[in-house]
Protein backbone atom coordinates (compact mmCIF):
# COMPACT_ATOMS: atom_id res chain seq x y z
CA UNK A 1 0.00 0.00 0.00
CA UNK A 2 1.26 3.47 -0.89
CA UNK A 3 0.50 6.18 1.64
CA UNK A 4 1.30 9.89 1.60
CA UNK A 5 1.24 11.27 5.15
CA UNK A 6 1.25 14.82 6.52
CA UNK A 7 1.93 16.14 10.02
CA UNK A 8 1.73 19.87 10.83
CA UNK A 9 0.27 19.90 14.37
CA UNK A 10 3.42 21.17 16.14
CA UNK A 11 6.44 23.31 15.26
CA UNK A 12 7.63 20.40 13.12
CA UNK A 13 6.25 20.13 9.59
CA UNK A 14 6.76 16.72 8.00
CA UNK A 15 5.64 14.74 4.97
CA UNK A 16 6.27 11.02 4.43
CA UNK A 17 5.66 8.49 1.69
CA UNK A 18 5.29 4.83 2.63
CA UNK A 19 5.59 2.26 -0.16
CA UNK A 20 5.33 -1.22 1.28
CA UNK A 21 8.26 -1.43 3.74
CA UNK A 22 10.10 1.57 2.27
CA UNK A 23 9.56 5.05 3.66
CA UNK A 24 10.78 8.52 2.77
CA UNK A 25 10.33 11.55 5.00
CA UNK A 26 11.05 15.25 4.91
CA UNK A 27 10.86 17.17 8.17
CA UNK A 28 11.52 20.79 9.04
CA UNK A 29 11.14 22.80 12.23
CA UNK A 30 9.20 25.80 10.96
CA UNK A 31 6.98 27.30 13.70
CA UNK A 32 5.30 29.77 11.36
CA UNK A 33 6.02 28.33 7.93
CA UNK A 34 3.75 25.31 7.63
CA UNK A 35 1.29 26.89 5.22
CA UNK A 36 4.06 27.75 2.76
CA UNK A 37 6.27 24.68 3.27
CA UNK A 38 3.97 21.67 3.41
CA UNK A 39 2.86 21.70 -0.25
CA UNK A 40 6.45 22.13 -1.42
CA UNK A 41 7.47 19.21 0.78
CA UNK A 42 4.71 17.08 -0.76
CA UNK A 43 5.98 17.98 -4.21
CA UNK A 44 9.58 17.26 -3.23
CA UNK A 45 8.88 13.85 -1.73
CA UNK A 46 6.75 12.77 -4.69
CA UNK A 47 9.59 13.82 -6.97
CA UNK A 48 12.13 11.85 -4.91
CA UNK A 49 9.95 8.75 -5.03
CA UNK A 50 9.11 9.22 -8.72
CA UNK A 51 5.43 8.79 -7.96
CA UNK A 52 2.48 11.04 -8.65
CA UNK A 53 -0.16 11.86 -6.10
CA UNK A 54 -2.64 9.74 -8.03
CA UNK A 55 -0.39 6.70 -7.53
CA UNK A 56 -1.16 6.72 -3.81
CA UNK A 57 -3.75 4.39 -2.29
CA UNK A 58 -4.63 6.71 0.57
CA UNK A 59 -3.62 9.99 2.16
CA UNK A 60 -3.04 10.09 5.94
CA UNK A 61 -2.89 13.12 8.24
CA UNK A 62 -2.30 13.93 11.89
CA UNK A 63 -5.60 15.35 13.16
CA UNK A 64 -4.23 16.69 16.48
CA UNK A 65 -4.41 17.61 19.24
CA UNK A 66 -1.76 20.25 18.81
CA UNK A 67 -1.53 23.79 17.53
CA UNK A 68 -5.00 24.85 16.37
CA UNK A 69 -3.51 26.59 13.35
CA UNK A 70 -1.28 23.62 12.55
CA UNK A 71 -4.16 21.18 12.81
CA UNK A 72 -6.29 23.27 10.45
CA UNK A 73 -3.45 23.58 7.94
CA UNK A 74 -2.85 19.82 7.91
CA UNK A 75 -6.50 18.93 7.50
CA UNK A 76 -7.06 21.57 4.85
CA UNK A 77 -4.08 20.43 2.79
CA UNK A 78 -5.00 16.76 3.18
CA UNK A 79 -8.59 17.36 2.12
CA UNK A 80 -7.56 19.49 -0.84
CA UNK A 81 -5.02 16.96 -2.10
CA UNK A 82 -7.40 14.04 -1.53
CA UNK A 83 -10.25 15.68 -3.42
CA UNK A 84 -7.95 16.65 -6.27
CA UNK A 85 -6.58 13.11 -6.67
CA UNK A 86 -9.82 11.29 -5.74
CA UNK A 87 -8.16 9.61 -2.76
CA UNK A 88 -9.64 8.48 0.57
CA UNK A 89 -8.09 9.70 3.81
CA UNK A 90 -7.14 8.28 7.20
CA UNK A 91 -6.90 10.53 10.24
CA UNK A 92 -4.51 9.67 13.09
CA UNK A 93 -4.27 11.56 16.38
CA UNK A 94 -0.98 13.06 17.52
CA UNK A 95 -0.76 11.10 20.78
CA UNK A 96 -0.88 7.78 18.94
CA UNK A 97 1.57 9.16 16.39
CA UNK A 98 4.12 9.83 19.12
CA UNK A 99 3.48 6.44 20.71
CA UNK A 100 4.10 4.70 17.38
CA UNK A 101 7.65 6.06 17.39
CA UNK A 102 8.58 3.28 19.83
CA UNK A 103 8.71 -0.42 19.02
CA UNK A 104 7.43 -1.54 22.42
CA UNK A 105 6.55 -0.41 25.92
CA UNK A 106 4.09 1.77 27.77
CA UNK A 107 4.17 5.28 26.29
CA UNK A 108 3.03 8.55 27.83
CA UNK A 109 3.05 11.13 25.00
CA UNK A 110 2.63 14.81 25.85
CA UNK A 111 2.49 17.95 23.68
CA UNK A 112 2.58 21.50 25.01
CA UNK A 113 -0.98 22.88 24.82
CA UNK A 114 -0.05 26.44 25.83
CA UNK A 115 -2.00 28.08 28.67
CA UNK A 116 0.27 26.07 31.05
CA UNK A 117 -1.36 22.81 29.98
CA UNK A 118 -0.46 19.67 28.05
CA UNK A 119 -2.21 17.35 25.64
CA UNK A 120 -1.50 13.80 26.76
CA UNK A 121 -2.62 10.19 26.61
CA UNK A 122 -1.41 6.69 27.40
CA UNK A 123 -0.58 3.88 24.96
CA UNK A 124 0.95 0.45 24.78
CA UNK A 125 3.27 0.47 21.80
CA UNK A 126 3.76 -2.69 19.75
CA UNK A 127 6.14 -2.43 16.82
CA UNK A 128 4.38 -5.10 14.79
CA UNK A 129 0.92 -3.55 15.08
CA UNK A 130 -0.94 -0.36 15.90
CA UNK A 131 -0.42 1.10 19.43
CA UNK A 132 -3.15 0.18 21.91
CA UNK A 133 -4.90 3.21 23.42
CA UNK A 134 -5.11 3.03 27.22
CA UNK A 135 -6.18 6.63 27.79
CA UNK A 136 -7.58 8.74 24.95
CA UNK A 137 -6.11 12.20 24.30
CA UNK A 138 -6.99 14.76 26.96
CA UNK A 139 -5.87 18.24 27.98
CA UNK A 140 -4.56 18.55 31.53
CA UNK A 141 -2.63 20.67 33.98
CA UNK A 142 0.91 19.21 34.16
CA UNK A 143 0.81 18.80 37.95
CA UNK A 144 -2.72 17.36 38.02
CA UNK A 145 -2.72 14.52 35.56
CA UNK A 146 -6.19 12.93 35.19
CA UNK A 147 -4.99 9.31 35.13
CA UNK A 148 -2.53 7.03 36.92
CA UNK A 149 0.31 5.04 35.40
CA UNK A 150 1.45 1.69 36.75
CA UNK A 151 4.93 0.44 36.00
CA UNK A 152 7.68 1.71 33.74
CA UNK A 153 6.87 4.04 30.88
CA UNK A 154 8.45 6.19 28.19
CA UNK A 155 7.73 9.91 28.10
CA UNK A 156 7.85 11.49 24.65
CA UNK A 157 6.92 14.86 23.15
CA UNK A 158 7.70 18.50 23.82
CA UNK A 159 5.29 18.51 26.76
CA UNK A 160 7.94 16.64 28.70
CA UNK A 161 10.65 19.09 27.68
CA UNK A 162 8.56 22.10 28.71
CA UNK A 163 6.52 20.76 31.64
CA UNK A 164 8.51 17.69 32.69
CA UNK A 165 9.23 18.82 36.23
CA UNK A 166 5.58 19.51 37.00
CA UNK A 167 4.42 16.31 35.32
CA UNK A 168 6.99 14.24 37.15
CA UNK A 169 5.85 15.55 40.53
CA UNK A 170 2.78 13.30 40.39
CA UNK A 171 4.63 10.24 39.05
CA UNK A 172 7.33 7.87 40.25
CA UNK A 173 10.47 9.20 38.54
CA UNK A 174 12.12 5.77 38.81
CA UNK A 175 9.60 4.40 36.33
CA UNK A 176 10.13 7.11 33.71
CA UNK A 177 12.42 7.12 30.70
CA UNK A 178 12.12 10.49 28.99
CA UNK A 179 13.00 10.45 25.29
CA UNK A 180 14.50 13.29 23.32
CA UNK A 181 12.00 13.21 20.44
CA UNK A 182 9.84 16.32 20.79
CA UNK A 183 7.40 16.13 17.91
CA UNK A 184 5.12 13.66 16.10
CA UNK A 185 6.34 12.79 12.60
CA UNK A 186 4.60 11.94 9.35
CA UNK A 187 6.41 8.61 9.01
CA UNK A 188 4.61 7.38 12.13
CA UNK A 189 1.29 8.69 10.76
CA UNK A 190 1.94 6.62 7.62
CA UNK A 191 2.77 3.47 9.58
CA UNK A 192 -0.38 3.75 11.71
CA UNK A 193 -2.45 4.24 8.56
CA UNK A 194 -0.88 1.11 7.10
CA UNK A 195 -1.84 -0.87 10.22
CA UNK A 196 -5.37 0.56 10.03
CA UNK A 197 -5.72 -0.45 6.39
CA UNK A 198 -7.98 0.84 3.66
CA UNK A 199 -11.06 -0.31 5.57
CA UNK A 200 -10.42 2.64 7.92
CA UNK A 201 -10.19 5.17 5.08
CA UNK A 202 -12.98 7.68 4.55
CA UNK A 203 -14.19 10.37 2.21
CA UNK A 204 -12.19 13.54 2.96
CA UNK A 205 -15.48 15.34 3.65
CA UNK A 206 -15.79 13.39 6.92
CA UNK A 207 -12.26 14.05 8.17
CA UNK A 208 -12.42 15.77 11.57
CA UNK A 209 -9.87 17.46 13.79
CA UNK A 210 -9.03 16.13 17.25
CA UNK A 211 -9.03 19.43 19.10
CA UNK A 212 -9.69 18.09 22.66
CA UNK A 213 -10.40 21.63 23.81
CA UNK A 214 -12.20 24.40 21.97
CA UNK A 215 -10.46 27.53 23.20
CA UNK A 216 -7.01 28.73 22.28
CA UNK A 217 -6.50 31.86 24.37
CA UNK A 218 -6.86 32.77 28.01
CA UNK A 219 -10.23 34.01 29.12
CA UNK A 220 -10.27 37.84 29.36
CA UNK A 221 -9.91 39.23 32.85
CA UNK A 222 -13.00 40.72 34.47
CA UNK A 223 -12.73 44.35 35.47
CA UNK A 224 -14.75 45.84 38.31
Q: In what order do the strands lie in the sheet with 153-156?
A: 129-140, 118-126, 104-112, 153-156, 176-178
Cβ–Cβ under 8 Å, residues 25 and 14: yes
Per the CB < 8 A criterion, the answer to whether 12 and 29 are in contact is: yes
pLDDT of residue 219: 37
pLDDT digits (tens, 9 = 90+) for 176-201: 899 999 999 999 999 999 999 999 99
**pTM (two decimals):** 0.93
Q: Kindly state the percentage of the chain with pLDDT values over 90.
A: 82
Q: How many angstroms separate the CA atoms of 91 and 192, rounded?
A: 10
Domains of the chain: 2-93+184-206 (3.30.420.40), 95-178 (3.30.420.40)
Inform me whether the pLDDT recorded for 101 exceeds 90. yes
By DSSP bridging, strand 22-29 and strand 58-62 are unpaired
Amino acid sequence: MRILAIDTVTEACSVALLDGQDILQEIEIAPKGHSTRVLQMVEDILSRSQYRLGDMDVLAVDTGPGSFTGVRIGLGVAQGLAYGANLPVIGVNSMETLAASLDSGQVFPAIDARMKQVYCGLYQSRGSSRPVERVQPVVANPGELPFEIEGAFYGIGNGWRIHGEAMGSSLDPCDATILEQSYPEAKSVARIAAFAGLESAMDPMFLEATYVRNRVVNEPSVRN
